[in-house]
Amino acid sequence: MRRPIFQTEIPGPNAIRIIAEQERQLSPSCTRDFPLVAASGEGCWITDVDGNQFLDFSAGIAVCTTGHSHPHVVQAIIDQSRQLIHMSGTDFYYEPQGNLAKKLCEYVPMRGGSRVFFTNSGTETIEGAIKLARYSTGRPHLIAFDGAFHGRSLGALSLTNSKVVQRRGFGPLLPEVSHIPYPGRDGITVDDTFRELEKLFKRRIDPKQVAGIFVEPIQGEGGYLISPPGFLSRLRQVCDQHGILLVADEVQSGMGRTGKFTAIQHWNVEPDIVCLAKGIASGLPLGALVARQELMQWPPGSHGSTFGGNPVACAAALATIELLENGLLDHAARMGRVVLDALHEAMRSNSAFSGARGIGLMAAVDLPDLPARNQLLQDCFRKGLILLGAGERSIRICPPLVVNEDEIHLAVEIMLEAVNSAGKKPAQAA
Ligand SMILES: Cc1ncc(COP(=O)(O)O)c(C=O)c1O
């Protein structure tokens, strides 16, 4: 079985040199917590610039759906690049954009049919959804949830309610935004959430002024919190009652990560708008706004994007969908069960782990607190396992969907080794 390989200390000499150079040139606004300088990738494995090999359970923040540089995706990118790299879908037509739109309408079915607008990222997709919700309802107000992450452009950031550092210094943000508690966080029940919404409607905002409610069916950055039973269907009912649009942010949870094309399909709830990005093109920048046909009636010139729906990105997305159709979707569901079993087993053998949860390959486990979680992330990295945190004390398990059982067991073994050795570290000199 393949295991992490170390040719040097971590970070190695090449990584140290490159990081020192880049620290001088790159914006310091990004959180580069790990000294990883990736040189190449294959499946779930990353090789760094010193030849060290890491098992990647981050998938480039839940992006590399089909694994790093899947040959089928690479071939599609090469073929499309030879034919046409760019022509701007805002002004012209080309086939890959239409072919992908057709596929997305098939996989994100909506009553009355759906239409697609292409973007380049998650935040742009959310931005488009905000504009479409306001335009199509003629209402100004937007509702999102505590702990939500919807992106960092100013409209999306107004919905984001995750960490103060993401908002501090960037105001004023959109004024017409309210946040309500997400059920499952801090003991909040579904009833509590709807009580808060009722209160909001009674005291502050006429529901007839609300354009859309934005919800992550599984709150990602907020801690991989799974919508409790009854929550999304009740949200749908409230939206229907007041003519509010239900917008599902599936930027992280979509594109097969949960074993279904979109996560909200697990609850049999049909949103009015679905936002996709991240995993859609296995690593190429692409996003898509899928909306009910009846809603997407904005006139020419009202919204556009020079790069959105780029032909090469669309070709990569079509290849990604082909792989999902050819077994990857089912594989993700199956591997998700292996992950959960392994996490539950880890919980039995070490009390530092608790709260294992997940649907498909969008899973998480909790550590006692933020310092313990962050220490474990660093210790795992030094042992050759790349993981990301979520929320205040969770570790997210979001490997490429091509992950196999051995890789899952290896990842959990490394996590256990890391947590066990953390307890045995000699006391550090003050
Ligand atoms: C649920 C969700 N929405 C939106 C975004 C923003 O996506 P991007 O970073 O591509 O702008 C993210 C990114 O993490 C996300 O997880």
Q: What is the pLDDT of residues 148-193, one digit of tens each?
A: 999 999 999 999 999 999 999 999 999 999 999 999 988 999 999 9
User: Is 239 inside a domain boundary?
Assistant: yes
Determine the residue of 121, 150, 154, 253 to mutate for testing ligand 1's pocket, defined as the one with the most ligand atoms within 8 A of the Cβ atom: 150
CA of 262 relative to ligand 1 center, distance in Å: 15
- Exposure string of 74-102, with b = 16+ CB inside 10 Å and e = fewer, is eebbeebeeeeeeeebeeeebebbeebbe
Distances (CA, A) of 354 to 26, 316, 365: 37, 38, 6
Number of domains making up the chain: 1
- The alpha carbon of residue 373 and the mean position of all alpha carbons in its chain are separated, in whole angstroms, by 20
Closest to 223 measured CA to CA, from 33, 333, 356, 100: 356
Question: How far does the chain reach from its first CA to its final CA, in angstroms?
Answer: 41
Which of 76, 75, 66 minimizes the C-alpha distance to 43? Answer: 66
Pairing type for strands 177-180 and 141-145 reads: parallel
For tokens 């309802």, what's the residue?
137
Residue 397 lies in a domain: no
- For residue 143, give both structure tokens: 């509702």
Cα distances (angstroms) measured from residue 325 to each of 66, 205, 255, 260, 399 = 12, 44, 11, 11, 19
Ligand 1 pocket check for 251: Cβ under 6 Å? yes
The pLDDT, as a whole number, for residue 425 is 58
Task: Report the distance separating Cα 182 and Cα 216, nearest Å.
Answer: 10
Q: Is residue 328 classed as helix, strand or coil in its secondary structure?
A: helix
Here the tokens at position 267 are 């609850």
**What three-state secondary structure class fits 92?**
coil
Task: State the CATH number of the domain containing residue 111.
Answer: 3.40.640.10
| pLDDT at residue 429, as a whole number | 37
pLDDT, tens only, 197-238:
999 999 999 999 999 999 999 999 999 999 999 999 999 999
In a domain, 284, yes or no: yes
| CA–CA distance, 61 with 252 (Å, rounded to integer) | 8
For residue 420, tell me if it sits in a domain. Answer: no
Ligand 1: which atom is nearest the Cα of residue 126? 4
User: Is 23 contained in some domain?
Assistant: no
Instruction: For residue 305, tell me if it sits in a domain.
Output: yes
Alpha helices (H) along 293-355:
311-323, 329-349
107-150 per-position pLDDT tens digit:
999 999 999 999 999 999 999 999 999 999 999 999 999 999 99
> For residue 149, how far is its CA from the centre of ligand 1 (angstroms)?
7
Using the mean position of ligand 1's atoms as its centre, give its distance from the Cα of residue 427 in Å.
Answer: 39
1 falls in which pLDDT band (50, 70, 90)? Answer: confident
Separation CA 160–CA 148 (nearest Å): 5
Peptide bond into 228 cis (omega under 30): no
Residue 428, pLDDT > 90, answer no
Would you say the CB of residue 123 lies under 6 angstroms from ligand 1?
yes
Res 424: pLDDT: 66
In a domain, 346, yes or no: no
d(CA 153, CA 132): 16
144 CA to centre of ligand 1 in angstroms = 14
Among protein residues, the one with the nearest Cα to ligand 1's atom 9 is: 122
* Phi/psi at 388 (5° precision): -120, 155
Q: Is the pLDDT of residue 64 over 80?
A: yes
Is the Cβ atom of 58 under 6 angstroms away from ligand 1? no
Helix (H, G, I), strand (E, B) or coil at 267: helix
Split at pLDDT 50, 70, 90, the class of 422 is: confident
Q: Which domain holds residue 173?
A: 71-322
254 lines ligand 1 (CB under 6 A): no
pLDDT digits (tens, 9 = 90+) for 4-56: 999 999 999 999 999 999 999 999 999 999 999 999 999 999 999 999 999 99
> What is the radius of gyration, based on Cα positions, of the chain?
22
Kindly state whether residue 263 falls inside one of the protein's structural domains: yes
Q: What is the atom index within ligand 1 of the atom nearest the CA of 216?
A: 1
- Ligand 1 pocket test: pick from 58, 121, 123, 145 the residue with the most ligand atoms within 8 Å of its Cβ: 123
User: Which tens digits make up the pLDDT trace of 351-405?
Assistant: 999 999 999 999 999 999 999 999 999 999 999 999 999 999 999 999 999 999 9
Residue 430: band (very low, low, confident or very high) from pLDDT cuts 50, 70, 90:
very low
Q: Are 5 and 52 in contact (CB under 8 A)?
A: yes
pLDDT confidence bin for 313, thresholds 50/70/90: very high
Residue carrying the six token digits 């839940």:
62
Q: What predicted TM-score, i.e. pTM, was given to this entire model?
A: 0.97
What's the 13 CA to ligand 1 centre distance in angstroms?
33
pLDDT of residue 427: 44
- Kindly give the number of the ligand 1 atom that is closest to the alpha carbon of 61: 14
